[in-house]
């Protein structure tokens, strides 16, 4: 298999993942799009490892680390999504604005009241 085919497939997967992150408003779909982007990076790592015939297999080792991080990300992300769904009854990221900064008062660097506390 040629390296260009693997890189082209990886770029296609990454592009679909970026589109999913930018266009979707469902939190589960966002997690799936991030997983697509991580899998595209894994495909590149393994393809370049095979292309350069690395004796230490560094690309495969890094791909294994990415898989472990992706599994942890999915676990934590789905736990957050389930908790938000139980509290708000929605997984739409557009409607979840409770933690947004809505303080209309600008922050002052040296507020005497804050220094006294």
Please give the full DSSP string across 27-68, using - where no structure is assigned.
HHHHHHHHHHHHHHHHHHHHHHHHHHT-SS-HHHHHHHHHHH
User: CB 48: neighbour CB atoms within 10 A?
Assistant: 17
pLDDT (tens digit, 0 to 9) for every residue of the chain, 117 residues total?
689 999 999 999 999 999 999 998 999 999 999 999 999 999 999 999 999 988 889 999 999 999 999 999 999 999 999 998 998 888 898 888 776 666 666 666 655 555 555
pTM: predicted TM-score of the whole model, two decimal places: 0.78
Q: What is the pLDDT of residue 88?
A: 86
Domain 3-88 CATH assignment equals 3.40.50.720: no
Q: What is the pLDDT of residue 114?
A: 58
The SS3 assignment for 26 reads strand
Q: What is the pLDDT of residue 102?
A: 65
Question: Where are the domains positioned within the chain?
Answer: 3-88
């Amino acid at each position: 298999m040629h390296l260009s085919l693997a890189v082209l497939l990886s770029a296609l997967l990454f592009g679909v993942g970026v589109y999913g992150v930018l266009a979707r408003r469902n939190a589960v779909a966002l997690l799936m799009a991030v997983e697509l982007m991580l899998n595209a990076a894994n495909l590149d790592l393994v393809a370049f490892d095979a292309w350069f015939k690395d004796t230490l297999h560094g690309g495969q080792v890094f791909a294994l680390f990415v898989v472990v991080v992706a599994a942890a990300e999915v676990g934590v992300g789905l736990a957050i999504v389930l908790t938000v769904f139980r509290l708000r009854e929605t997984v739409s990221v557009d409607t979840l604005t409770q933690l947004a900064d809505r303080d209309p008062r600008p922050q002052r660097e040296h507020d005497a009241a804050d220094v006294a506390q």
